Amino acid sequence: MRALTGPRTPRRGRSDSVHQLTYGDIKAAGDRIAGRVRPVAVAPLDVAGGEVWAALELLQHTGSFKARGAQNFVRAHREAGTFPDAGVTIASGGNAGLACAWAAQEQGVRATVFLPENAPAVKVARLRGYGAEVRLAGREYAEALAACEEFAASSGALASHAYDHPLVAAGAGTLLDEIRRQLPDLDTVVVSVGGGGLFAGVATAAREHGVRTVAVEPEGSQALHAAVAAGRPVDVPVDSVAADALGARRASAAALWAARQDGVRTALVADSEIVRARRLLWDGHRLAVEHAASTALAALTGGAYRPAEGERVCVVLCGANTDPGTLA
């Protein structure tokens, strides 16, 4: 298995995630983005019983973990001199686009971001604040992705991806090593799953250290579950309160590979539990998170994952790009 040593760009019409991530990929990403992302803070949570901690990745640049993968992708291409005049383009439910636009702006690179027409207004406004050109297309992430691919083909812009690229997933995986520096006796990390970039990266690093990974999806957006059942990535319908960030129709091949490894558990949670967990974080800790972030916690508060006695668990609160008014 070859190490990821340089930038790779998705080819139209197929997944690039046939590359199976290695811990070496994640270490290389950590070196590349050192000093350019905020080290994650961890804090105890008074929920679900037992010893539960939160990884406060909602405090990350651009408000989500996506900053890690975006920095790794943009810096790798900048180092290789592979940015075209048309810049970079990406399709996103919002967070990946924000991170890509932020990282591109730092490097003086043009960014064109495609979003579904129902993307939260707060994300659209922030994207424009980072200097990105925003284009709205379709009602789901998959439709925005198709429009992005067409734009990349016609303009020559470099296509990034919200989750299905090894540089992006490796960047996300750097989170796990930072958590372990503060929680060296960590037993289990719990992450939300949309397309699977965060999960694939974190699970790869977790396996290196003997840490269990729990991958949590909304019942109405279960691309990873469907892939595991089918033995290959397949399209699924998307209908969830967390669909603006966890609305991928298809999980990446890297996520499927990671889900098949020892030390990985999967869980499904209802929208009602996602909403309740989000409210618990606000009422009990004054943390305003996206539904995508509370999806991970909902596995614990709703009982989809029950830690053993003495198990040390860390839940990744992955993003905060939400309208606080919905918590009033």
Condensed to tens digits (0 to 9), the pLDDT of residues 93-127 reads: 778 999 999 999 999 999 999 998 988 787 888 89
Which long-range contacts (C-beta less than 8 Å, at least 24 apart) are formed by 120-128? Answer: 120/94, 120/244, 120/321, 120/322, 120/323, 121/323, 122/321, 122/322, 122/323, 123/94, 123/95, 123/97, 123/98, 123/244, 123/321, 124/94, 126/62, 126/63, 126/98, 126/321, 127/94, 127/97, 127/98, 127/101
Structure tokens at 59: 């405090």
pLDDT in tens, 237-272: 999 999 888 988 999 999 999 999 999 999 999 999
Distance from chain centroid for Cα 43: 20
Distance from chain centroid for Cα 301: 21
- pTM, two decimal places: 0.89
What is d(CA 149, CA 154) in angstroms, rounded to the nearest whole number? 9
Residues 6+ apart with CB under 8 A from 58: 64, 287, 289, 290, 293, 317, 318, 319, 320
Structure tokens at 291: 């539904």
End-to-end CA distance of the chain: 50
Q: Residue 306 has what pLDDT? A: 94
pLDDT at 17 over 80: no
Q: Residue 322 has what pLDDT? A: 83
Structure tokens at 197: 């970039």
Bridge partners, residue 319, by sequence: 64
CA geometry: angle 218, 280, 318, nearest 5 deg: 55
Whether residue 160 contacts residue 89, with contact meaning beta carbons closer than 8 Å, is answered with yes
Query: Strand 51-55 to strand 42-45: parallel, antiparallel, or no bridges (unpaired)?
Result: antiparallel
122 three-state secondary structure: helix
Q: What is the mean pLDDT of the chain?
A: 90
